[in-house]
Structure 1
Amino acid sequence: MEKYKDKLYELTGKNQPIINKIPSRHTSKNPLMWFDADKGYNRELRYATNQKSPFVDEQVGPATLGHVAFRNGKLHVEGKQQNLIKFLELHPLKGKLFKEFNKVEIAEDELDYLEFKVESMKYAKEMEIDQAEAILRVEIGSEVSKMTTKEIRRDLIVMAERNPKLFLNLVQDDNIMLRNIGIKATEAKILLLTDDQRTFKWASNGRKLFEVPHEEHPYSALAAWFKTDEGIAVLKTIEKRLN
């Protein structure tokens, strides 16, 4: 087994510059201190290419300061550069500005994503059309009302494939179905939502049913109201008329 392995570090943010240097010595502007729990005090860090230790108090003689530069967001460190590896492991920006590239973590993340994808597409293929319509409405809005059953099925599977985590979250959100019923009832002119988006009424006689709380989305508020005693009775009537 190789004793000293090469390591790869990468910047954590997006849209990184071609070259990005990180502090390699302690200054008032960029403090490089590491708390040593065994000794009970902070120790100054410094990357010197001719020193074995990253700690200033362990470095002997003149120090040849080194630069630490990420190119295109990455920094490859050879296993023989143990002083630089130790320095990067203790650097206060590790975990914030940069991190060590970990193949195992990447593989685990990819496996989780694939499992989400398989599960979400299974749900999409087996889902009842009413629920499929409700979930797809979140993605494309009122256009779903003009789509055929096959088009809904197709777009739902595409959605599940492209964004499996969002899809599974929507599957578990019972308010999605209730929102969809409210929207369909309005489109079918069973319910009437006033122009100011604040009040739901029966479209047939104008009788007020529910007033939307301030700053809430009307159909989200209606979905929550459908769970109340009064709302359940209205919901049952709407479902009968929609069917």
Structure 2
Amino acid sequence: MALKAKKAETTYVEPAPEVYEAVEQIVAPIKKINPVKKDDWVIKDRLYELTSGKKPLVFTLPTVHSDSKSLLWFDKEKGYQRELRYATNQQSCFVDEQEGQCTYGRIILRNGILRVPKEQVALQKLLSIYHPFTLDGIIAEYKPEVMAENEVDWIELELEALNLAKVLSADEAEAILRVEFGSKVSSYSTSELKRDLLIFAKKQPSLFLELARDENTHLRNVGVKATEEGIITLSPDQRTFTYGQTGRKIMTIPFDEHPYSALSAFFKTDEGMEVYKAIEKRLK
């Protein structure tokens, strides 16, 4: 009798779960790119001149730093002084930015001026921005637009001064001119006062406007006129003001102060106001 083969039992084994190894992804940090600073330097021919107005045949500027002639520029961003040097074959006027062998150049103003073509940017920047002679105001770039603007400002200042001078009274004109010309204005006629006031306003408009707007100018003039007419007296040591007739003391002048400046300040006090009114009535 044939034996049946026993069926082999199979055991199901559940597969082990797959293990995934965690891999850390390294991401390079994104660099912040600073915006490129736009260079506002204008490429053009430039003219440089001596600010003194003199026109020597030859005026030479230092081009290399030395013990006798310092050629340094303080860089605020870097925090130190940088040495300057003019080299015709370099794109920069800073020594720390120059590379290789340098060909030194000379900077010469002839008849007080120097024309620098637009191709020589390094030289232009040296003269316009960094050179000590520029910073000290010895030379300057000729800028017609700036000159025109300054001339307009000056003309407007002249007009303002002349318009104000035109409407001032004779007493106000005398007060202003006395500051400039002293006691001799007391002998001027009204026409002479007006004429000299207009000339003064045209030649020195800034000073004229300052004096015209200063209330102490008129008060000082009253004090000077009162002294000239003997209404009040200033002691020989310039320490005391007294009444001319009675000799009674008006005020003592503080130490190291101008007598009439002290008197004008006194006129603005309560006591001084009464004195001022009395003096003004007698002057009329």
Pairwise TM-score range, normalised by the shorter structure = 0.7 to 0.9
Larger Rg: 2
Q: CA RMSD in A?
A: 2.4
Instruction: From 18, 21, 24, give the equivalent of 2:63.
Output: 24
- Higher relative contact order (CA closer than 8 Å, sequence separation 6+): 1
Asked whether 1:9 is paired with 2:41, we answer no
Identity %: 49
Residues 54-65 of structure 1: pairs in structure 2 closer than 5 A: 54-65=93-104
Deviations 1:193-221 (A, max 9, x none): 12222211111111011111222221111
Helix, strand or coil: the match of 2:257?
coil
1:28 to partner: Cα distance: 4.5
Given the superposition, is the C-alpha separation of residues 49 and 143 from structure 1 closer, same or farther in structure 2, using an over 3 Å criterion?
same
- Quote the residue 2:4 is aligned against: none
1:65 to partner: Cα distance: 0.5
Given the superposition, is the C-alpha separation of residues 153 and 24 from structure 1 closer, same or farther in structure 2, using an over 3 Å criterion?
same
Deviations 1:26-62 (A, max 9, x none): 3344444456677777654321123333344444443
Residues 94-109 of structure 1: pairs in structure 2 closer than 5 A: 94-96=134-136, 97-109=138-150
TM-score (norm 1): 0.87
Instruction: From 101, 125, 130, give the equivalent of 2:171.
Output: 130
Given the superposition, is the C-alpha separation of residues 199 and 101 from structure 1 closer, same or farther in structure 2, using an over 3 Å criterion?
same
Given the superposition, is the C-alpha separation of residues 214 and 15 from structure 1 closer, same or farther in structure 2, using an over 3 Å criterion?
farther
Helix, strand or coil: the match of 2:48?
strand
Q: Which has the higher helix share?
A: 1
- Quote the residue 1:156 is aligned against: 197
Task: Check the 8 A contact 1:202/1:208 in 2, yes or no.
Answer: yes
- Quote the residue 1:113 is aligned against: 154
Q: How many angstroms apart in 2 are the aligned matches of 1:212 and 1:38?
A: 53
Given the superposition, is the C-alpha separation of residues 133 and 43 from structure 1 closer, same or farther in structure 2, using an over 3 Å criterion?
closer
Aligned length: 241
Q: How many angstroms apart in 1 are the aligned matches of 2:116 and 2:254?
A: 58
Long gaps (5+) in structure 2: 1-41
- Quote the residue 1:193 is aligned against: 234
